[in-house]
Amino acid sequence: MIHIDQTKQIFHLTDSHFSYVLKVHQGKLLNLYWGAALAHADLDYLVEAIRPGASFELTEQRTPLELPTMGTGWYGMPAVQAQNADGNTLTALTYRSYRLLPHKPDLPGLPHVVDPAAETLQLQLIDSLTGLEVIVSYTVSGGGLTRSLSFSNHGTQPLTLTHMASASATVSAQGLDVIHLRGAHARERQLVRTPVGQGTYAFDSQRGASGHEHNPFVALATPHTTEDSGQVWSMNLIYSGSFLASAQVRETGDTVLSIGLNPAVHQWRLESGAQFDTPEALLVYSSQGFNGMSHIYHHIFREHLCQSPWNHRPRPILINNWEATYFNFTEEKILQIARAAAQLGIELFVLDDGWFGQRDDDHRSLGDWYVNTRKLPHGLKHLAEQIEALGLRFGLWFEPEMISPNSDLYRAHPDWCLHAPGRPRTEGRHQLILDLGRPEVQQFIINMMKETLSSAPISYVKWDMNRNMTEAFSAVLPPERQMETQHRYMLGLYHVLEEITQAFPEVLFESCAGGGGRFDAGMLYYMPQTWTSDNTDAIERLGIQYGTSLVYPPSAMGAHISASPNHQVGRVTTMQMRGDVALSGNFGFELDLSRLSAEDRVTAKAFVNRVKALRTITQGGMFTRLISPFEGSNYAAWQFTYEDQVLLCCFRKLNEPNPVPHRVYLKDLDEHAFYRDEAGHTYSGAALMHAGLPMTFFPQHDFTSYVTVFTQQKG
C-alpha cells in the first residue's frame, strides 16, 4: 500500500484503484501524481519539467506543492498559514523526516475512518524560524486515501493558525468539470456540474454546520465522464461544521483541489508546546466514472467510518407523528396512531417535537427537557410501555444543542448561548444556540440525555438541529481566541455524541438538521442514518436521494411515505409511488395512519411486508445509479446489487403521449448468467445490460414507478 524509495525520497501510496505520489525536492514536499494506479512510481522526470517561464518568475509558482503556503512565491490559496508574534504570516515549511506506522491511529476528539490494520505514513515538516511543526498523516483504506494535519508549536512565542486545509492536491489534467452538491432547505444536495474555468472555483459554509447550501464534498472530472466511465478526483471532509472547498486552476493548467476548515470563521491560537489536529479528509479517485467513485465512498462509510452497532443491523420500519399532528397531540392521539401502526406491522413509533416543557409551538421550552404532563399526563415511561405493549419500540425527538429565550434554562443561564456582548441575540425559529464549547454546557446535555434515555424504554433518538450560527462568540473565551468558537463548538458536540452513543449503544440514533442541513460523514461516524430532507414529496426526493447517493450510501438516508397532497409542495401522488421512492432508504411513514383509506391501508401493509423482505438488499447492497432525474430527465432509475439479487427501481415523473420506448440498462451483472424477475420473465445478464429493458411498464398517469427484483438463476 505504501512504498518508500529512501534514496530518491519518493513516497508512493497506492492500491488497485489509485496512486498518490509524493517526492521531496530541495526540501519541499511535492505532489507529483494523483490518478490511476501505477506499478512503478519513479516520476523524477516530472520534476525536471518544473522551471519558471521567465527570468523574473519564481520556481515555486509552478511547483506542485503538497502543502502550499503564502508569502514565499506561491500565489494561490494556501493550505497552511500561521501568523507569528511579529504579525506576519510568512510560513516556510521544509521536509524533515517520515514515519511508517503499522496501523491507523485514532484522531482524538474527531470523527475519522477506522482501519487499524492499514499502514499510515506520517511526514514531518518544519518552519525553522517559528518552530511550527506540521505532521501530515496518510492512510490507504478501502479504496480511498485519508489525510489530516497535526500542528505543534515548538517555538517560544504563540502562533495563530489561519489556514488549515485537511487536503490539498494537484490534479494534472486540463479542461476539467467541477462537481458539487448544492441546495437549500427542502431541496438539498442538487447535483451541480460545470467547467471549472480559470481562476478559483470555491464554495463554503460559514454557518457552523456543513449546511443545506453546500455539502463538504468536491470533485473534478474529465469533460466526458459519465456514471460509468471517465476519471474523477474527489474529496470529502469528515466534519460537521463550517468548511471551504476550492478548485484553483494554476497558470500551468493544473488544478489544485482542496478542502478543510473555513479560514473566514476558523483560526486557532497555538501556544508554545500546544498541538492542534485538523479534521480528516477522504480522497477518492475513480477511473470508472461517478458510480465507481460512489461505490468506494459507500464502502468506506459503511465498513470503516460508522461506529454504531446499528450500522449493519436491519433498520426498523418507523412511524413519526410530526406531519400527522405537529405540536397538537394528546396521549390518546399518539396511541391511536400507534395502534394503527401495529396493525400494519410497523416496528417503531417516534414521538417528535412537542413532548416536553410547555412546548405547544416553536416559540418556547427548548432546554426544558421534562415531560409536558398536560399532553402526556401519565408520563413518558407509561406512554413508551403502552406502545411497547402494542409490539412497537419507542423513539423520541430531541434538539439538545438549542435553547429558547422563553425557557427555564435560559432564565437560569442566559450566558450559555452563543452571543456577542452588546449585540442583539439573533433568533432563528425563535431559538438560540447553546455554546457547546463550554464544558458545563456539554455536561448539562450529557446528564439530560442520560437521565431521559434511562427513564423509559427508548430505542431510537432523532437528534435535530434547526438553525445555523449567528453571533458565534463565546462568553468564556478571551478576545484572541474568539475565532476558535465554531470549532470548539464542534469538538464539544463530538464529545457529547461520543458520551451518549457509547452509554446507549443499543439506541438507534438518527441525525437531523432542519432536514438534511448536516448530512455529512462527521455525523455518520456517530449515527448510522440521517433525515435526508424535510421535503418528503416523492418527485422532489428523486433528485435529493440521487444527489445524496453521489457520496453517501442509501443505508444512511431516512425516507418516509408522507401524506398526499404533500405538505411541502402540495403534489398529489399515489401511495405506491411514494412508497417505491422511500423503500430505497431507511423506510418509514410520516402521516396519520389512523386516517388512511381502506385502499391505502392495504398498500401500506404491503409496503411494510415488502420492505422487510428487501431491506437486506437496500441496506447492504451495492447502489448504482442508472438514469439521472437531473438535466431535464422525465425518468430516474437506480439499482441495488446484493449477492444473487438485483433490485431495480424505475420512476417516471409525467405521462407522455405516444411515448418513445425508453430503456433502462442494468449494470454489473454476469453477462453469461440468466436473471428472473418477480413476474417470472427471464433475461440474460448481457441482454439486460446491453439491449436494455424497455420501460413500457408504467401505468398511464403522472408520477409512476416500477420496482422489481431480479434473481440470478443457478446452474
At 178, which CATH number? 2.70.98.60
- CB distance 146 to 112 below 8 Å: yes
Q: Is the pLDDT of residue 527 over 90?
A: yes
How far apart are the C-alpha atoms of 302 and 320, rounded to whole Å? Answer: 25
How long a stretch of residues is the chain?
A: 715
State which H helix or E strand residue 642 sits in.
Answer: strand 635-642
Q: What is the mean pLDDT of the chain?
A: 96
pLDDT digits (tens, 9 = 90+) for 41-73: 888 888 877 776 666 666 777 789 999 998 888
pLDDT reported for residue 49: 76
Q: Is the pLDDT of residue 449 over 90?
A: yes
- Strand-pair partners of 245: 203, 259
Identify the residue whose cell numbers are 421535503: 535
What is the share, in percent, of the chain residues with pLDDT greater than 70?
A: 99
Which amino acid type is present at position 110?
L
pLDDT reported for residue 53: 67
Classify residue 192 by its DSSP letter. Answer: E
How many Cα atoms within 13 Å fall on the side-chain side of residue 631? 8
pLDDT digits (tens, 9 = 90+) for 579-595: 999 999 999 999 999 99
622: in domain: no
> Pick from 305, 329, 356: which residue ends a domain?
305
* Alpha-helical runs (H) found in 473-573: 485-503, 521-526, 538-548
585: in domain: yes
Q: Is the pLDDT of residue 430 over 70?
A: yes
361 is catalytic: no
Residue in 177, 435, 464, 580 annotated catalytic: 464
Which has the higher per-residue pLDDT, 43 or 477?
Answer: 477
Confidence of residue 713 (pLDDT cuts 50, 70, 90): very high
Confidence of residue 251 (pLDDT cuts 50, 70, 90): confident
How far apart are the C-alpha atoms of 259 and 249, rounded to whole Å? Answer: 15
At 335, which CATH number? 3.20.20.70
- CB distance 336 to 319 below 8 Å: no
* Alpha-helical runs (H) found in 569-636: 575-582, 598-620
pLDDT reported for residue 70: 86
What pTM did the predictor assign? 0.97
pLDDT digits (tens, 9 = 90+) for 357-394: 999 999 999 999 999 999 999 999 999 999 999 999 99
Are 260 and 323 in the same domain? Answer: no
623: in domain: no
For range 318-332, the mean pLDDT = 98
Are 59 and 132 in the same domain? Answer: yes
Antiparallel, parallel or unpaired: β 318-320 and 586-590: parallel
Which amino acid type is present at position 177?
D
* Alpha-helical runs (H) found in 397-477: 408-412, 439-455
Are 396 and 441 in the same domain? Answer: yes
Identify whether 64 is preceded by a cis peptide bond (ω within 30 of 0).
no
Are 375 and 253 in the same domain? Answer: no
> Pick from 305, 331, 346: which residue ends a domain?
305
Contacts of 252 (CB under 8 A, 6+ apart): 62
204 is catalytic: no
627: in domain: no
Are 38 and 122 in the same domain? Answer: yes
C-alpha triplet 298, 188, 699: angle, nearest 5°? 85
Query: Ramachandran region of residue 283, left (φ > 0), alpha (ψ -120 to 50) or beta?
Result: beta
pLDDT reported for residue 76: 85
For range 667-677, the mean pLDDT = 97
At 655, which CATH number? 2.60.40.1180
149: in domain: yes
Are 295 and 319 in the same domain? Answer: no
> Pick from 583, 616, 649: which residue ends a domain?
616
Contacts of 302 (CB under 8 A, 6+ apart): 311, 312, 553, 555
- CB distance 520 to 239 below 8 Å: yes
Which amino acid type is present at position 190?
Q
How far apart are the C-alpha atoms of 714 and 678, rounded to whole Å? Answer: 16
Classify residue 59 by its DSSP letter. Answer: G
Are 566 and 676 in the same domain? Answer: no
Are 462 and 355 in the same domain? Answer: yes
Cell of 22: 509524493
628: in domain: no
How far apart are the C-alpha atoms of 431 and 452, rounded to whole Å? Answer: 22
Confidence of residue 471 (pLDDT cuts 50, 70, 90): very high
310: in domain: no
pLDDT digits (tens, 9 = 90+) for 332-364: 999 999 999 999 999 999 999 999 999 999 999
Are 596 and 644 in the same domain? Answer: no
From residue 575, alpha-carbon distances to 226, 317, 599, 680 in Å are 33, 16, 10, 25
499: in domain: yes
Are 273 and 202 in the same domain? Answer: yes
How far apart are the C-alpha atoms of 410 and 414, rounded to whole Å? Answer: 5
Antiparallel, parallel or unpaired: β 460-463 and 508-511: parallel
Q: How many domains does the chain have?
A: 3
Are 465 and 513 in the same domain? Answer: yes
How far apart are the C-alpha atoms of 214 and 245, rounded to whole Å? Answer: 10
Indicate the SS3 state at residue 393. strand
Cell of 466: 434547526
Domain region containing 704: 635-712
pLDDT reported for residue 55: 63
pLDDT reported for residue 73: 81
Are 55 and 136 in the same domain? Answer: yes
